[in-house]
């Protein structure tokens, strides 16, 4: 994903970060 698309889609970036955090929590269990 390019930097431009990250700037244009902050909501998408937030969802991706949230999804990544959730996956990390599941892996820790």
Whole-number pLDDT of residue 6: 62
Quote the CA–CA distance of 6 and 19 in Å, as a whole number: 16
pLDDT in tens, 1-29: 577 776 777 887 788 888 888 888 888 87
Q: Mapped to the 3 state alphabet, what secondary structure does the chain carry?
A: CCHHHHHHCHHHHHHHHHHHHHHHHHHHC
Domain-wise residue ranges, the chain: 1-29
| pTM of the full structure | 0.45
* Tokens matching residue 13: 């970036």
């Amino acid at each position: 994903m390019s930097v431009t698309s990250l700037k244009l889609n902050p909501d998408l970036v937030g969802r991706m970060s949230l999804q990544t955090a959730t996956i990390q929590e599941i892996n820790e269990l």
